Amino acid sequence: MKKRYRSFVFAWQGIRYCFLEGINFRIQLCCGAVACMLGLLLHLSGSEWLPILICIAAVLSLEMINTAIEHLCNMIHPGTHNTIKIIKDVAAGAVLVTAIISVVIAAIIFIPKILSIGII
């Protein structure tokens, strides 16, 4: 039990690090919070909440993985290196692709609801 608790503490430290040190993580977290507030305001159904929450989790998780990859790359090769640049760019690209798809999914869910209540 103690080992599992320590694992949880270490994981929480990783989340805390990303929140405190990662501007992109904080921006993405704010976007997720806005999506949740909009979802509450628009009374999303369970089937509408599911993709929204999965997208939020995917973007935040990938941002954390991207941060870990960047730190590992910087430790392995602190200077400029073409292969390290490709690794970092691909990891960042994965976050971007997921964020773009998340925006599309949010638009598919939110826009009809917003139009139906006449906000726009």
User: Which residues are marked as active site?
Assistant: 63
Residue 19: CB atoms within 10 A of its CB come to 13
